[in-house]
Amino acid sequence: MSLLLNGVAAGAAAIACSAGLAAATTTPATAITTDGTFHLGVDIQPGTYTTTTAGTVCAWARLSGNAQGTATLQAGGAINGTTTVTIAPTDYAFVTTGCGTWNLTTTVSGGSSLFPSGTFGSS
Protein backbone atom coordinates (compact mmCIF):
# COMPACT_ATOMS: atom_id res chain seq x y z
CA MET A 1 0.00 0.00 0.00
CA SER A 2 1.36 3.43 -0.93
CA LEU A 3 0.59 6.68 0.80
CA LEU A 4 0.06 9.86 -1.20
CA LEU A 5 1.07 12.99 0.72
CA ASN A 6 0.81 16.38 -0.96
CA GLY A 7 0.84 14.61 -4.34
CA VAL A 8 3.99 12.62 -3.55
CA ALA A 9 3.92 8.85 -3.06
CA ALA A 10 5.59 8.44 0.31
CA GLY A 11 5.01 4.72 0.80
CA ALA A 12 4.85 5.20 4.58
CA ALA A 13 2.93 1.97 5.07
CA ALA A 14 5.63 0.04 3.23
CA ILE A 15 8.32 1.89 5.16
CA ALA A 16 6.63 1.07 8.47
CA CYS A 17 6.31 -2.61 7.58
CA SER A 18 9.79 -3.06 6.15
CA ALA A 19 11.74 -1.00 8.67
CA GLY A 20 10.75 -3.07 11.69
CA LEU A 21 11.38 -2.10 15.27
CA ALA A 22 14.59 -0.12 15.71
CA ALA A 23 16.89 -1.16 18.54
CA ALA A 24 15.58 0.06 21.88
CA THR A 25 17.69 2.42 23.94
CA THR A 26 17.79 2.85 27.71
CA THR A 27 16.40 6.37 27.39
CA PRO A 28 14.38 7.32 24.30
CA ALA A 29 16.39 9.56 21.98
CA THR A 30 15.86 13.29 21.48
CA ALA A 31 17.13 13.16 17.88
CA ILE A 32 16.27 10.99 14.88
CA THR A 33 19.35 10.60 12.71
CA THR A 34 18.32 7.91 10.19
CA ASP A 35 15.37 6.90 8.04
CA GLY A 36 13.07 4.35 9.64
CA THR A 37 10.22 3.64 12.02
CA PHE A 38 10.65 4.91 15.59
CA HIS A 39 8.37 3.84 18.46
CA LEU A 40 7.32 6.35 21.12
CA GLY A 41 8.68 5.71 24.57
CA VAL A 42 11.08 3.07 23.20
CA ASP A 43 13.11 4.79 20.48
CA ILE A 44 12.09 8.46 20.73
CA GLN A 45 10.37 10.88 23.08
CA PRO A 46 7.15 12.71 22.20
CA GLY A 47 7.48 16.39 21.36
CA THR A 48 8.10 18.85 18.56
CA TYR A 49 10.91 17.89 16.19
CA THR A 50 12.48 20.02 13.44
CA THR A 51 14.66 18.80 10.61
CA THR A 52 18.10 20.36 10.25
CA THR A 53 18.55 19.33 6.62
CA ALA A 54 16.41 17.43 4.20
CA GLY A 55 16.93 15.41 1.06
CA THR A 56 15.08 15.98 -2.17
CA VAL A 57 11.76 14.90 -0.62
CA CYS A 58 11.25 14.60 3.13
CA ALA A 59 8.34 12.23 3.86
CA TRP A 60 7.04 11.53 7.36
CA ALA A 61 4.04 9.94 9.07
CA ARG A 62 2.67 9.82 12.61
CA LEU A 63 1.03 6.49 13.40
CA SER A 64 -1.35 5.40 16.13
CA GLY A 65 -1.48 1.73 16.97
CA ASN A 66 -0.81 -0.97 19.49
CA ALA A 67 1.86 -3.39 20.63
CA GLN A 68 0.47 -6.05 18.26
CA GLY A 69 1.70 -3.98 15.30
CA THR A 70 -1.61 -2.62 13.97
CA ALA A 71 -1.02 1.00 12.91
CA THR A 72 -3.24 3.80 11.58
CA LEU A 73 -2.05 6.98 9.86
CA GLN A 74 -2.71 10.03 12.07
CA ALA A 75 -0.89 12.65 10.00
CA GLY A 76 1.81 12.80 7.38
CA GLY A 77 3.53 15.00 4.89
CA ALA A 78 6.05 15.24 2.12
CA ILE A 79 8.00 18.43 1.54
CA ASN A 80 11.15 19.71 -0.09
CA GLY A 81 13.23 21.37 2.62
CA THR A 82 13.05 21.51 6.39
CA THR A 83 9.89 20.89 8.39
CA THR A 84 8.56 20.75 11.95
CA VAL A 85 6.29 18.00 13.34
CA THR A 86 4.77 17.51 16.77
CA ILE A 87 4.75 13.83 17.73
CA ALA A 88 2.01 13.30 20.31
CA PRO A 89 2.49 11.21 23.45
CA THR A 90 -0.44 9.08 22.26
CA ASP A 91 1.22 8.24 18.91
CA TYR A 92 2.51 4.70 18.46
CA ALA A 93 5.31 5.40 16.00
CA PHE A 94 6.89 7.98 13.71
CA VAL A 95 8.09 7.07 10.20
CA THR A 96 10.60 9.22 8.31
CA THR A 97 12.53 9.00 5.06
CA GLY A 98 14.73 11.52 3.27
CA CYS A 99 14.43 14.14 6.02
CA GLY A 100 17.94 14.19 7.42
CA THR A 101 18.21 14.70 11.19
CA TRP A 102 15.19 15.54 13.34
CA ASN A 103 16.01 17.34 16.62
CA LEU A 104 13.64 17.58 19.57
CA THR A 105 12.92 21.29 20.13
CA THR A 106 10.00 21.12 22.59
CA THR A 107 9.00 18.25 24.86
CA VAL A 108 5.42 17.10 25.31
CA SER A 109 4.38 15.38 28.53
CA GLY A 110 2.30 12.24 28.62
CA GLY A 111 2.66 8.52 28.15
CA SER A 112 3.26 6.46 25.05
CA SER A 113 0.45 4.50 23.44
CA LEU A 114 2.83 1.55 23.03
CA PHE A 115 1.97 0.48 26.57
CA PRO A 116 -1.24 2.34 27.50
CA SER A 117 -2.44 2.45 31.08
CA GLY A 118 -5.03 -0.08 32.20
CA THR A 119 -5.42 -3.69 33.21
CA PHE A 120 -4.54 -6.34 30.66
CA GLY A 121 -4.96 -10.09 30.64
CA SER A 122 -5.98 -13.03 28.51
CA SER A 123 -8.98 -15.29 28.78
Does pLDDT of 28 surpass 70? yes
Does pLDDT of 117 surpass 50? no
121 vs 83: which has the higher pLDDT: 83
Does pLDDT of 29 surpass 70? yes
The predicted pLDDT at position 96 comes to 95
Domain boundaries, given as residue ranges, for the chain: 4-107
- Ranking 20-34, 81-95, 98-112 by mean pLDDT, the lowest is 20-34
Q: pLDDT confidence of 17, banded at 50, 70, 90?
A: very low
- Exposure on the CB side of residue 96, measured as CA atoms within 13 A: 28
Mean pLDDT, residues 97-107:
93
112 vs 85: which has the higher pLDDT: 85
- Residue 60 contacts by C-beta under 8 Å, 6 or more apart in sequence? 10, 12, 76, 77, 78, 83, 85, 94, 95, 96, 97, 99
The predicted pLDDT at position 55 comes to 62
Q: pLDDT confidence of 10, banded at 50, 70, 90?
A: very low
The predicted pLDDT at position 13 comes to 42
Does pLDDT of 42 surpass 60? yes
